[in-house]
């Protein structure tokens, strides 16, 4: 009789310990939402207890101009605390040109060497020529 009671106490203790090791619930401190509206516009934002902030606003560019001319545009930003303690912030635009992020943490290309830049400038300003032909090319 003592073994089933001891086993039950052990299972209960393990269950209590498992519950105490579960993930922490992060509270939502702020949440606002508007839309989607009839004109295609919307906006939302939220802020969490672990320093995550996000917001976005969108609209339809050329609303009512007809199919093929309308374009959904979204502007937004989000930030969060990195493992090193710094705050990472990313701003973006998403439109017909795709997703365009901006942030200090994003990698940037190295500068173009002066000789290469000079060659690019010469090519940009040079008149276009038709290959194999003579005279100017107007195409």
Q: What is the pLDDT of residues 46-86, one digit of tens each?
A: 999 999 999 999 999 886 676 777 889 999 999 999 999 99
18 has a pLDDT exceeding 60: no
Q: Alpha-carbon distance 71 to 73, whole Å? A: 6
Lowest mean per-residue pLDDT among 15-19, 60-64, 97-101: 15-19
pLDDT band, very low/low/confident/very high, at 108 (cuts 50, 70, 90): confident
């Amino acid at each position: 009789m003592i073994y089933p009671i001891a086993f039950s106490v052990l299972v209960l203790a393990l269950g209590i310990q498992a519950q105490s090791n579960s993930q922490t619930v992060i509270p939502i401190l702020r949440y606002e939402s508007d839309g989607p509206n009839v004109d295609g516009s919307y906006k939302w934002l939220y802020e969490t207890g672990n320093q995550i902030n996000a917001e976005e606003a969108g609209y339809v560019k050329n609303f009512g101009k007809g199919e093929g001319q309308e374009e959904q545009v979204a502007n937004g930003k989000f930030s969060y605390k990195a493992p090193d303690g710094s705050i990472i912030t990313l701003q973006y635009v998403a439109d017909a040109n795709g997703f365009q992020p901006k942030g200090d943490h994003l990698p940037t290309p190295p500068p173009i060497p002066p000789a290469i830049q000079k060659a690019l400038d010469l090519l940009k300003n040079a008149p276009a020529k038709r290959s194999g032909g003579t005279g100017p090319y107007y195409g």
